[in-house]
Amino acid sequence: MNEIIGAPKEFSLDRVGIFFIPIFMIEADPDVVRLAMSGMLIVRAERLFAPPGIDYMACSEDFEKVLRGSEPPEYRPILKKVEIGNDENDEKIERVIIEGWQKATKQQRQFNG
């Protein structure tokens, strides 16, 4: 039985990517980050202090297939602001969610070193 418990039925270990989540995003709304990563198998996580955040390597159906032995591509979260209601003063309450993942451009990868 080669099934990963709790993983989606079409889960593939060949769909691997790396990404960075800044600490401020995790601290501001951990549920948003948790939900965005819920369909992933995290295979590596490293806490970084400069810049402050966590560097992840994960398998996800949102990532492209990678040949075994190849360097996995880097991804960036696609952020979206959504309205979740109104407060007691009838002001809009907005929340930033992670809508998906986008492959990082060459320029973004160079910027991150």
From CA 58, how far away is CA 36, in angstroms rounded? 12
pLDDT bin (cut points 50, 70, 90) of residue 11 is low
Boundaries of every domain in the chain:
16-65+74-105
- Residue 60 and residue 101 in contact, taking contact as beta carbons nearer than 8 Å: yes
From CA 113, how far away is CA 110, in angstroms rounded? 5
Residues 6 or more apart from 19 whose CB is under 8 A from it? Answer: 55, 56, 58, 74, 75, 76, 77, 101
pLDDT bin (cut points 50, 70, 90) of residue 90 is confident
**What does the pLDDT look like over 12-50, one tens digit per residue?**
789 999 999 999 989 988 888 888 888 899 999 999 998
3-state SS, residue 25: helix
What single letter denotes the amino acid at residue 92?
K
If one compares 8 and 37, the residue with the highest pLDDT of the two is 37
Q: What is the pTM of this model?
A: 0.73
